[in-house]
Amino acid sequence: MPRFLEGEPLLYNGWIWIVKGIEHPDGYVVAYPRYCIECIPPRKLYRAEYLRKINYYKWNCVDLDVPVIPRDKVYLIYPRPWRVTQEFISLLCELSGIECSDIILTGSLVIGLDPLTSDTDLVVYGRENVDRVYEALVYLRESGATSPLGMHGSLIEYKKHGDLLFEDYMLLRRYSVLQGFYKNKYRYTIRLVPYDHGFSGCTDPVIWSSMVRLKIVILEEISPYTTPAIYRVGLLDRVLRTDTAIMLSYRIRYTELRKGTILQGLFRIEKRLKSKNYYLIPDHSSQRILGISSRS
């Protein structure tokens, strides 16, 4: 049974789609097409190719047009991991004490690409699981079993983030344990999603949204290494009628940020029905890194 959660690969109409977010319109799944599994050989989809077939749904809950596929017509993918990938998954399970069924393979290795040339994308599900796996990742980094992206790995990953300056990308990822190299040669990226299953329907509708240029500073790391990453931030510009807000991000590059980090750029601002807070989303535009805290 699919979980319908961020990062999960689903098969629909000969394509592999990657689930986005944790809540979905009734009868649908928010997902982006990534790979053609019926092609010979299987390959990544070209942007022009999928834009012709993607179906957008105007979802008032999030005040956005979202790409969707029918919930009752999708199938789970059961990829056969490479030996080194299975070894890495088993190591994480052993160190964290979680079930390996809560760690799934996603990304390009799903269609059989070589982990030496493509990064290993893994997603971990479950509230307690994500904390345990993050502790295991810290241990692996401190013990030398994994290493940082460094200049080489960052240059490869940066190709996916061309809207950022490279110096800013390096600042964002230099302390990350969610990304790096296993055994100094297998590049990996891990998402930690603190849910067991996605939600069908709207849990907290957006009643107003706007795009505004802001300068913010991170005041509190509420849930910095999960997807979504959550921070309490201070507004250094007097743009809103508040001094603080909650920043949410579904992008790996905005995980593991430290208290005191300063970002400046175009943010989506949301006001939601059930909360008094303003929510800031940095994911729709690039951000400049004006200051970043070092690891204590």
Q: Per-domain residue ranges for the chain?
A: 9-76, 83-193, 204-291
Bond preceding residue 81 cis, omega within 30 of 0: no
Report the distance separating Cα 168 and Cα 183, nearest Å.
26
pTM equals 0.94
Is the separation of the CB atoms in 71 and 17 below 8 Å? no
Coil/strand/helix, residue 74: coil
Please report the pLDDT score of residue 294 as a whole number: 60
What are the tens digits of pLDDT across the range 10-56? 999 999 999 999 999 999 999 999 999 999 999 999 988 888 889 99
Is the separation of the CB atoms in 248 and 280 below 8 Å? yes
Q: At what angle do helices 127-143 and 83-96 cross, to 10 degrees?
A: 110
Q: What is the mean pLDDT of the chain?
A: 94
What are the tens digits of pLDDT across the range 242-276? 899 999 999 999 999 999 999 999 999 999 999 99
Please report the pLDDT score of residue 54 as a whole number: 92
Q: Phi, psi at residue 90, to the nearest 5°?
A: -60, -40
Q: For the domain with range 204-291, which CATH number is right: 2.40.50.140, 3.40.190.10, 1.10.760.10, 3.40.50.880?
A: 2.40.50.140
